[in-house]
Amino acid sequence: MRVFGLIFKNTLRHKLRTALTILGIGVAILLLGLVRTFIAAWYSGVSQSAPDRLVTTSKINITFTLPISQKEKIERIPGVKQVAHGTWFGGIYKDPKNFFAQFAFEDAGMFHLYPEFIVDSATMHAWETQRNAVIVGVETMTRFGWKVGDIVRLQGTIYPGDWDFLIVGTYTGRTETTDDSQFIFRWDYIEQRMEKEWPARAGEVGWWVVKIDDPARSAAISKAIDAEFDNSADETKTQTEAAFQQSFVAMSGTIIISLQVISILVVGIILLVAANTMAMTARERLSEYAVMKTLGFSGGHLFGLIGGESMLIAFLGGVVGIAAIFPVAHGISIALRAFFPVFPIEAKTLIIAAFSALGCGIVAAVFPVTRAVRMRIVDGLRRVG
């Protein structure tokens, strides 16, 4: 305990230097946490996936549509419990910068496939009875200040023209990391207009969501579904929801790798700041270390002293940095909501941050300790002061 007191007092010797080091480490830890949260945001779709949901898309490309006639055939495949379709709309609300995800769901059945979207029954009923109804996630509602009963106009890109939607209610996400920014309306609203204006495009959906009875059989069932449409004009590719989400992540693979590289570089900076301080501090105290060695303190003791100081500073830096992650990440999540509907601070991120700080605290002490231990006592005593 005495030793801890000595360590603590040593850090107070150069208050400014200690404070700056803690701040420097704190900033680097903050950055590490932010970068890792960026990465986690990319993967949030994957982490939200359910093991008993499959996604069936066109084999040519996920942007291709599939005919609605496929539904019956998929339903008949053993192991399939429920099938519903979703379609990407991709419209513009006033300005392309105001991006948010817009989907056309087949019917209320789709909502049952996604129990993590919580909708009250009155809203659901309104949605089922009004063709141009839309249910909007609370995140997007607050973002644009919409109210239930508002009419929202979107400029279609894939489905050309202007489209008016009536907001009948909102949905909330079951957990912190559920995407509650989506804009969900009815497929028959698109279909009705396509039949009139572009008949060739009627009867087409974006993808199938398939709920299966046994997640362990997902590979077999996926194969069975694809085999059904093999060598037809609309070949399919079925995979687990997790794999489907993963493919989106892989599209931005380069950026994610860059972020991971940056997070390593950041840890490097933490180390440099900590090592720099400890090296300077140790050099100034070499004569003291010599005295302690004279008194009989061993290399292990010196490691405890120097390492302890280094780790205390690193620990405090870690605390500062981790505390800062929360408000800053919140700010970023608002600024970048068009890109990331979910910006989750994961426990894993915080643990990595904490260990990085402490790890750097230890490593930063290595060089000064080695120097202090190797130094001959007589050389150390020769230094005055």
Partner 1 sequence: MGLILVYTLRNLMVRKLTTALTVVGMGLVVFVAASVMMLAHGLETTLVATGSDDNAIFVRKAANTETISLVMRDDAGVATTQPEVAVSSDGTPIAASEIVILVSLDKAGTTDAANVVLRGTQPKALELRRNVQLVEGRMFTPGTSEIVVGRSATKNYAGCKIGQSVRFAMREWTIVGMFDAHGAGFDSELWGDADQVQQAFRRTIYSSVTVRLRDPSQFEQLKTRMETDPRLTVDVKREKEYYAAQSEMMSGFIRVMGTVISVVFSIGAMIGAMITMYAAVANRTREIGTMRAIGFPRRRVLTVFLIEAIWLSLLGGGVGVLAAAMMSFVHVSTTNWTTFSELAFGFALSPSIVIGSFAFAIVMGLVGGFLPAVRAARADIINSLREA
Partner 2 sequence: MASALVDVRGVSKTYHRDKVEIPVLRNLSLEVPEAEFVALMGPSGSGKTTLLNLIAGIDRPDSGQVLVAGTELGTLGESDLAKWRSRHIGFIFQFYNLLPVLTAFGNVELPLLLTKLSGSERRKHVETALDLVGLKDRMHHYPRQLSGGQEQRVAIARAIVTDPTVIVADEPTGDLDRQSAAEILDLLAQLNQTYKKTIVMVTHDPRAAERAHVQRHLEKGELA
Contact positions vs partner 1 (CB under 8 A): 16-17, 20-21, 23-24, 27-28, 30-31, 34-35, 38, 59-64, 90, 92, 96, 155, 157-158, 160, 200, 231, 233, 235, 237, 247, 250-255, 258, 262, 265-266, 268-270, 272-273, 275-277, 279-280, 332, 336, 339, 384-385
- Give every CB contact of residue 38 below 8 A, 6+ residues apart in sequence: 259, 340
Report the residue number, 339 or 355, with the smaller CB distance to partner 1.
Answer: 339
* Minimum distance of partner 1 from residue 119's CB (angstroms): 29
Tell me the two tokens of residue 300: 């292990």
96 binds, among partner 2, partner 1, none (CB under 5 to 8 A by kind): partner 1
Interface with partner 2, residue 297, by CB under 8 A: yes
**Which of these, 289, 296, 269, lies nearest to 371 by C-alpha position?**
289
Q: How many residues bind partner 2 (CB under 8 A)?
A: 25
Among residues 57, 58, 174, the alpha carbon closest in space to that of 116 is found at 174
**Of the two residues 228 and 288, which places its CB atom closer to partner 2 in the complex?**
288
Two structure tokens written together for 293: 């060695």
Residues 256-295 interacting with partner 2 (rule: CB under 8 A) = 287-288, 291-295
- Closer residue to partner 2, CB minimum distance, 363 or 381: 381
Alpha carbons within 13 A on the beta-carbon side of 116: 14
Spatial separation of the C-alpha atoms in residues 125 and 169, rounded to whole Å: 10
Q: Which stretch binds partner 2 (CB under 8 A): 207-215, 248-256, 297-305, 350-358?
A: 297-305
**Residue 377 within binding range of partner 2, rule CB under 8 A:** yes
Which does residue 55 touch among partner 1, partner 2, none (CB within 5 to 8 A, set by kind)? none
- Shortest Å, Cβ 235 to partner 1: 7
Binding partner at 155 among partner 1, partner 2, none, C-beta below 5 to 8 Å by kind = partner 1
Q: Which among partner 1, partner 2, none contacts residue 358 (Cβ within 5 to 8 A by kind)? A: none
Q: Judged by CB, which is closer to partner 1: 104, or 141?
A: 104
**Counting contacts by CB under 8 A, is residue 10 touching partner 2?**
yes
- The CA dihedral of 375, 377, 379, 382, to the nearest 10 degrees, is 140
Contact between 15 and partner 2 per CB under 8 A: no
Of 373, 376, 230, 215, the closest CA to residue 304 belongs to 373
Residue placing its CB nearer to partner 2 in the complex, 10 or 70 = 10
Residue 3 binds partner 2, judged by CB under 8 A:
yes
Q: Which does 294 bind (CB under 5 to 8 A by kind): partner 1, partner 2, none?
A: partner 2
Nearer to partner 1, 3 or 19 (CB): 19
Interface residue list for partner 2 (CB under 8 A): 2-3, 5-6, 9-10, 12-13, 287-288, 291-299, 301, 376-378, 381, 384
